[in-house]
Amino acid sequence: MNSQVIIFDTTLRDGEQSLQVSLSVKQKLKIALCLENLGVDVMEVGFPISSPGDFKSVQTISKNVKNSRICSLARCLDKDIDTAAEAMSLADSFRIHIFLATSTLHMESKLKKNFDEIINMATTSAKRALRYTDDVEFSCEDASRTTIDNLCRIVEKLINIGVKTINIPDTVGYTTSNEISFTIEKLFQKVPNIDKSIISVHCHNDLGMAVGNSISAIQAGARQIEGTINGIGERAGNTALEEVIMAIKVRKDTLNAFTKIKHKEIYRTSQIISQICNLPIPPNKAIVGSNAFSHSSGIHQDGVLKNRKNYEIIDPRTIGMKEVKLNLTSRSGRAAVKHYMTEMGYKESDYNIDELYTDFLKLADKKGQVFDYDLEALAFINQQQEQPEYFSLSFFSVQSISNGLSTASVKLLCGKSTYTESATTSNGPIDAVYQALNRITCYSISLQKYQLIAKGRGKDALGQVNILVEYKNRKFHGVGLATDIIESSAQAMINALNNIWKSDQVNEKLKILKKCNISKK
C-alpha cells in the first residue's frame, strides 16, 4: 500500500541563508505563496531570532499562507523558541523546529558538552516548544556522524515527551545511500516508540548524493523529505525537492509512496525562485534545466518523434513545460529536419529532403546551431555561397542619464541604402538603440529574452548578448559580441533583424512560386 511522503521545504530558511544578498519581506512572501500553490506540506520560512528582518518575514508569511504548515527554526535556547512562537502567532497552526548537535565531533569541539547534557538540553527545549504547539520537530544535527546508540537514546526520549517529527540530517553531506538506509533501519529496529513519530531526513549535497540519499531513506522507512527548490542551500546545496518529487512519481512502482504536490506547478515555481534568488538554473539540471527535455542526437530525435517514451521518462507537460526541444545541430538527423519543416506548415513535396539535409549539415558545421527560419531559407533560397547581411551597423551614439531619459542615434546600412534614426526612452540606452533600429526597419517585434554573458575578465572582456524576439508569432534569435555592452546589444538585435529579413524573403519567394503553381522537387 502506498503511503504519503511529507514534503518539507526549507528554501526560505536553509536556501535563503546561503544567498549573497538577503531577500526582502516582499520577495520571501512571493516565494512562500508559490510554494503554497505548489502544495508543499510544510514550509520552513526562517530563523526568527537571527534578525528583525527575518522575524518580520516569518510574521508576514504566517499571516498570508493558509494551506501549508508554517515552520520556524530555533536552537535549543529559551529565547529562540519563544521568538519563533511569537513570529508565527498569526498562523492558524505552526511547527517549531529545534535542533542540537549529537555527533561526538560537534559535542566536543563546538558545544563542549557530554551526551547526557545534550539529551537534557534537547528534552527541556522540546517541552518548552510543546507549550506553544503540539507540532514540534527535532533535528539531530550531524546525525550521519553520530553513533547509532546515541541516536536511538535521544530519539526515544524525545518521542516519549511528544515530539512528532524526528529529523536525521546529513548536515555536511558526508553519508552514502547504504549508510543512511542502515541508520533509518536501525532506528526502526531499536527505538520501541518509533511508530509514534515521523522520521525525516535532511540531506546536503557536498558529495553530490543528496537526492539519492533521500530516496534511500524513503525506501528504509522515512516519510518526510526536507530540501529546497532547485537544490539551493549552504555550500553545495540541499536535496533538490523537484527531483525527489518526480522520482517518487515516476518510480511509484518501487518506492510505494506518493506526495500531494501539484506537479504542473514545478517548472513555474523553479523559474520564479531562480529569478528572485538570482541563481541561474544549470542547463543540465535534472527536471527543470533547459536541456532536461531537449534532444540533439539524431538517433534520440528520431526515437522521440516516433514515441516520446523512447528517450523521455517524464512528459514535460507533467511539470508545466509545454514542449520538447529538438536542437538542430550537425548531430541531428533527417527526422528532426522533417519535423521542423512540418511544424512550419510545409509538406514533403514542397522541398527535396536530400538536398535540404546536405545543405543543413554544411550550415550546422559552420553555425553550430540552426533554427527553423534557417531551414526555410535553405529549402527555398540557395544560400550555399556566402551572402552579405542585409542590415549592417554603420554608427551609433547614445546619451543616458541615471533615473532619466536615454537617447540613441543609429546609422544602419540596409542593402545599398543608409538610414539614420533616433529614439528617446526612459528604459535605458539599450532600449533606445532598439527603438531606433525598429523605426528604421519597420518590423513589429517584441523582445522576449535578453541575456548578457561575460567572456573573459578585466577591461578587455567581451560581452556576449543573446536575445530572442517575436515577429509574426515566430521566434528569432540574435547574438552580438563586443567589449562595449551597448554595441554587443545592438549587434544582437541586428543579427535577429537579418534573420527576420531572410525569412521574409523566403515568404515572398513562396508567394511567387504559389502563384506560378510551382513546387520545388
Residues making up the annotated binding site are 14, 202, 204, 238
Q: Kindly report the backbone phi and psi dihedral angles of residue 413, in degrees, each rounded to the nearest multiple of 5, phi listed first.
A: -85, 120
3-class SS of residue 315: coil
d(C-alpha 83, C-alpha 64), whole Å: 19
The answer to whether the CB of 238 falls within 8 A of the CB of 232 is yes
Question: Beta partners for 35?
Answer: none
3-class SS of residue 106: helix
Q: Kindly report the backbone phi and psi dihedral angles of residue 484, in degrees, each rounded to the nearest multiple of 5, phi listed first.
A: -95, 125
What is the signed CA dihedral for 425, 427, 428, 434, rounded to 10 degrees? Answer: -70
d(C-alpha 385, C-alpha 378), whole Å: 11
Between the alpha carbon of residue 398 and those of residues 79, 434, 485, 493, 508, the distances in Å are: 57, 11, 12, 16, 35
Q: Which three cell numbers stand for residue 108?
A: 566536543
Written in H, E and C, the secondary structure of 442-460 is CCCEEEEEEEEEEECCCCC
3-class SS of residue 361: helix
Q: Which three cell numbers stand for residue 116?
A: 547526557
Q: Which three cell numbers stand for residue 489?
A: 546589444
Rg, C-alpha atoms of the chain? 29
Residue 315 burial (CB count, 10 A): 12
d(C-alpha 214, C-alpha 8), whole Å: 12
**CA angle, residues 458, 461, 467, in degrees to nearest 5:** 140
Q: Which three cell numbers stand for residue 65?
A: 499562507
The closest of 188, 242, 184 to 213, measured between CA atoms, is 184
User: Which residues, at least 6 apart from 78, have a Cβ–Cβ distance to it below 8 Å?
Assistant: 125, 128
Binding residues for Mn(2+): 14, 202, 204, 238
Instruction: Give the distance, in angstroms, between the CA of residue 307 and the centroid of all CA atoms in the same chain.
Output: 27
d(C-alpha 137, C-alpha 72), whole Å: 10
The closest of 98, 25, 37, 19 to 62, measured between CA atoms, is 25
- Placement of cell 498570508 in the chain: 64
Helix (DSSP H) and strand (DSSP E) numbers for the chain: 17, 18
Instruction: Give the distance, in angstroms, between the CA of residue 14 and the centroid of all CA atoms in the same chain.
Output: 17
Q: Which three cell numbers stand for residue 178?
A: 547504504
If you count them, how many residues does the chain have? 521
- Placement of cell 536556501 in the chain: 15
